[in-house]
Amino acid sequence: MNVISVVGARPQFVKLAPMERAFLTGGATHRTIHTGQHYDHAMSDGFFDTLGIEPPAWNLGVGSGNHGAQTGSMLEEIENVLIDARPDCVIVYGDTNSTLAATVAAVKLHFPVAHLEAGLRSFNRRMPEEHNRVLTDHAADLLLAPTEVAAGHLAREGLADRTVVVGDVMVDVLLEAAERSIGINLGWPDGIADSPYVLATIHRAENTDDPHRLASIIDALAGLDLPVVLPVHPRVRTLAAGRGLELATGSLIPIEPLDYVRMIAAVREATAVVTDSGGLQKEAFVLGTPTTTVRTETEWVETLEGGWNVLSPSVDDISRNVSRPTPIADRGTPYGSGFAAVTAAAAVMEHYA
Ligand code: UD1
């Protein structure tokens, strides 16, 4: 069987790692198209190295741009590759512009599309990720849902027939990285080497595009009592520099983006996490680090059970939420136990081999 995965952005490389392995172990031919949506070493090649992913067979080098221009360039380039490669199935991941572009390119050529991480919904139609998810789910042929909640959303949209619940492949990678990360040197700057710290990441458009919103989040993080380690997404670095916004202020310690294994160690060792990332909310939940999510909603509603994750749409509440006591509720295993990729690859091979 001839499978092609299409990825482009950091969280998709994480999901690709166990899927590639599961396809190869299952005897399929697997190749990757990298759209080039993320291109800095720390955002892209570093992940392929750390996670042991095969280099992409095609790198389209599309780069950054407005949503329409970026998605359109990818669509055109992916179509050219697929016409020659003639895959039995195209796998698309998550909810980025690369996901949508690959889906549209493949369905128009009548290649089956399997969407990994199908059925997530924020019900916030202002998010670019929500457009990408909804459009991808309705165009794809096989919907690989991470949870029953996600499958429920798909059923309500009339897509139950195409849905298989496979678990969450990010947990497969996470459990492996957590083992590899034991005893790793985090390489923190002097002064916080042995002290408790908060780990923070902010990158979503709804928190960064409005200059006042980003400035007030930076202020709130800078005012926390503990040191706040902030691996800075290039989008935020560019926006902050353009607006004269200082990131190294108060408690804040801006650092370069971390590789995946160091990030997992950093989450596990942190006293608390503050984030707007979907993946990080889940990673912190599985590792048992209380999280404050700077958003009005989350797609990963299971993390809210028992108070391990709390939403903090108001910037004024971040400090109070971060200093809440560590929850005691049992977290269970709503995202599976580390075998999702094997289940997902088996479902694809069963449908399209
Ligand atoms: C994208 C995804 C988002 C995902 C995130 C993970 C979409 C709509 N958004 O957001 O869902 O959570 O990836 O990180 O697809 N940049 C660099 N170097 C890079 C990549 C980006 O400098 O390697 C800068 C550029 O200024 C670029 C900006 O970051 O314009 C935004 O990048 P883009 O890929 O458009 O969106 P993300 O914010 O990364």
Q: Of 193-197, 252-256, 284-288, where does mean pLDDT reach its minimum? A: 193-197
Q: Check pocket membership of 65 for ligand 1, CB cut-off 6 A.
A: no
Say what the pLDDT of residue 352 is: 96
Say what the pLDDT of residue 190 is: 72
Quick one: 205 and 247 in the same domain?
Answer: yes
Q: Which residue has the higher pLDDT, 183 or 95?
A: 95
Tell me, yes or no, whether 253 lies in a domain. yes
Tell me, yes or no, whether 175 lies in a domain. no
Instruction: Tell me how far the alpha carbon of residue 8 lies from the centroid of ligand 1, in angstroms.
Output: 9
Q: Nearest C-alpha to atom 15 of ligand 1 is from which residue? A: 96
**97 Cα nearest atom in ligand 1:** 15
Q: Check pocket membership of 213 for ligand 1, CB cut-off 6 A.
A: no
Q: Find the farthest-apart pair of alpha carbons in the chain and give their distance in angstroms, rounded.
A: 57
What does the pLDDT average to over 50-72? 98
**116: helix, coil or strand?**
strand
Q: Which residues contact 350 (CB under 8 A, 6 or more apart)?
A: none
What does the pLDDT average to over 159-166? 98
Mutate to test the pocket of ligand 1, among 13, 38, 170 (most ligand atoms within 8 A of CB): 38
185 band by pLDDT with thresholds 50, 70 and 90: confident
Quick one: 69 and 188 in the same domain?
Answer: no
What does the pLDDT average to over 162-186? 95
Quick one: 145 and 217 in the same domain?
Answer: no
The one catalytic residue in 38, 115, 203, 233 is 203
User: Mean pLDDT over all residues of the chain?
Assistant: 96
Q: Nearest C-alpha to atom 20 of ligand 1 is from which residue? A: 38
Amino acid at 16: L
46 band by pLDDT with thresholds 50, 70 and 90: very high
Q: For residue range 93-114, list pLDDT tens digits in order.
A: 999 999 999 999 999 999 999 9
192 band by pLDDT with thresholds 50, 70 and 90: confident
Q: For residue range 206-247, list pLDDT tens digits in order.
A: 999 999 999 999 999 999 999 999 999 999 999 999 999 999
Q: Does pLDDT of 155 surpass 90?
A: yes
Q: Nearest C-alpha to atom 7 of ligand 1 is from which residue? A: 96
14 class by beta-carbon count within 10 Å (0-12 exposed, 13-18 middle, 19+ buried): buried
Quick one: 149 and 205 in the same domain?
Answer: no
Residue 203 among the catalytic residues: yes
DSSP string of 219-268, one letter each residue: HHHHTSSS-EEEEPPHHHHHHHHHTT--SS-TTEEEEPPPPHHHHHHHHH
Q: For residue range 291-329, list pLDDT tens digits in order.
A: 999 999 999 999 999 999 999 999 999 999 999 999 999
Quick one: 133 and 205 in the same domain?
Answer: no
Q: Does pLDDT of 187 surpass 90?
A: no
Question: What does the alpha-carbon distance between residue 137 and residue 139 come to, in Å, rounded to a whole number?
Answer: 6
Mutate to test the pocket of ligand 1, among 235, 280, 281 (most ligand atoms within 8 A of CB): 235
Quick one: 213 and 155 in the same domain?
Answer: no
Quick one: 22 and 60 in the same domain?
Answer: yes
Q: Check pocket membership of 37 for ligand 1, CB cut-off 6 A.
A: yes
Q: Check pocket membership of 163 for ligand 1, CB cut-off 6 A.
A: no
Tokens of 25: 């172990």
Quick one: 232 and 296 in the same domain?
Answer: yes
Say what the pLDDT of residue 50 is: 96
Percent of the chain whose pLDDT exceeds 70 = 100
Question: What does the alpha-carbon distance between residue 293 and residue 25 come to, in Å, rounded to a whole number?
Answer: 37
Domain tally, the chain: 2
Say what the pLDDT of residue 36 is: 98
Quick one: 308 and 240 in the same domain?
Answer: yes
190 class by beta-carbon count within 10 Å (0-12 exposed, 13-18 middle, 19+ buried): exposed
Question: What does the alpha-carbon distance between residue 76 and residue 58 come to, in Å, rounded to a whole number?
Answer: 14
Please give the model's pTM, rounded to 2 decimal places.
Answer: 0.96
Question: The domain spanning residue 91 has which CATH number?
Answer: 3.40.50.2000
Tell me, yes or no, whether 330 lies in a domain. no
Question: What does the alpha-carbon distance between residue 260 and residue 178 come to, in Å, rounded to a whole number?
Answer: 10
Question: By residue range, what is the domain housing residue 309?
Answer: 180-322
Q: Does pLDDT of 193 surpass 80?
A: no
Question: What does the alpha-carbon distance between residue 14 and residue 172 come to, in Å, rounded to a whole number?
Answer: 10
Tell me, yes or no, whether 328 lies in a domain. no
Quick one: 221 and 268 in the same domain?
Answer: yes
Q: For residue range 236-270, list pLDDT tens digits in order.
A: 999 999 999 999 999 999 999 999 999 999 999 99
Quick one: 53 and 79 in the same domain?
Answer: yes
Say what the pLDDT of residue 77 is: 98
Q: Nearest C-alpha to atom 34 of ligand 1 is from which residue? A: 37
Instruction: Tell me how far the alpha carbon of residue 9 lies from the centroid of ligand 1, in angstroms.
Output: 7
Instruction: Tell me how far the alpha carbon of residue 199 lies from the centroid of ligand 1, in angstroms.
Output: 20
Say what the pLDDT of residue 298 is: 97
Q: Nearest C-alpha to atom 31 of ligand 1 is from which residue? A: 235
Q: Nearest C-alpha to atom 13 of ligand 1 is from which residue? A: 9
Quick one: 102 and 199 in the same domain?
Answer: no
Q: Check pocket membership of 256 for ligand 1, CB cut-off 6 A.
A: no
